Structure formats: structure tokens, C-alpha cells
Amino acid sequence: MSDDGKANLFLHSYSTTHEPAVKFELFIDLQCPYSKVAFNNLKDSIPKHYGKKVDFSITVTALGFHYQAFEALVGGMIAQKVSGKRSTFLDYISTVFEHQESIMNAACTDKNPAQIKQAVADLACNLDGVTQEAYTAERNGEDGGWKYVVQANRMCKYAQGRGVGSTPSMIVDGFLVPNTESKWGLEEWKAKIDPFLA
């Protein structure tokens, strides 16, 4: 988030290009195992195959029944703010998915909100340029990290407004693609994307 409180695109979303192109939006929830599968299948294959022909973006949301996912979304915003690097967002998603079991319900049943915040902080602090001290200062700042909570809420509302009710969800050039599967790779998605390039 910028100093004037306005949303900064790369605090919540990672995009491969700003060139005119077909837009492919992947919406994921960091607590969702199916989102993990889709992310790992698509994050490299789509950009590598299409280059600037397709603007591939990843937007993190949090489903209403995934409390830890919401805190993880907040954590990604803070990690990027602290590191000051755009690439941190993608690295953060990868790190959370590598250790996803630590924020699943089974691991968090007996944890209070402060402990869940710390679990997310521990994940974020695996990244270059993100220290516990700097992360905690942002999460527990004068406003209690409220500016990040507000931005996370905006992202969830953005996803809902795009018709995203489950994750992973994919939108190609403004159209929510129905009946998709998280295990789909490049070959399956070429059948959905290529007609928009014709």
C-alpha cells in the first residue's frame, strides 16, 4: 500500500506484463490445496509458453470459511511492503504453499488469533529482506495493521465481484471459465486461451 493509503497492485497481485494482451486471471486461496495444485501447474507454464501474448496474473483472495487464509493474505501484503521488492509476492505464495500444512485447520484448531498471526509471520520471514522485527512493526503498528486488513477485504470483495465463489477460479479476458480442474496444465488451458488469440 502506498503512503497515501491507496491500493498498490503488486501488494495483492502478481502480473507478468502490462502490454496489451489476453488477460488470464488466476484466483487462489492460500489455505486451499486445490489452489496450490493450480498455482504450481500454471505459474511458470503459461508465461513461458505465451510470453507477452497473455497477461497472466495471480490474485490472492480468502474464502469466508478460511480464517487462516485471510491472515495469510495480510501477511503477503506486509512481506512485500517490508522487502520493497515486487518479486516477494510470488516468492511468498510459493513459501506458504510449501508449508501449507502449518495454516490448515488441523494445525490451527487450538491456536488463538495471535498464534495464527505468528505462524504467518514465521512463513513470511523465510523470505529475503523480511525480518521478524520489520514484519511485526507493520502487523502491530499504530493502527494494528488495519490498513492491510482493509486492503485484504478489498481483494476479497474484488474476487467476489468477479464471480469468484471458490478456488482456484480462472478468468480469461473477463469471462469466468466454468468446469475447470486444478490439475489442468498448459495443454488443457491452450484450448481455452488460444481462441482469444485468433
Q: What is the pLDDT of residues 37-85, one digit of tens each?
A: 999 999 999 999 999 899 999 999 999 889 999 999 999 999 999 999 9
Pair 50, 11: CB distance under 8 Å? no
Beta strands at 175-176 and 22-29: parallel, antiparallel or unpaired: unpaired
Phi, psi for 60 (deg, rounded to 5): -90, 130
Q: What is the pLDDT of residues 114-157, one digit of tens each?
A: 999 999 999 999 999 999 999 999 999 888 899 999 999 999 99
Q: What is the pLDDT of residues 6-44, one digit of tens each?
A: 333 334 455 665 666 899 999 999 999 999 999 999 999
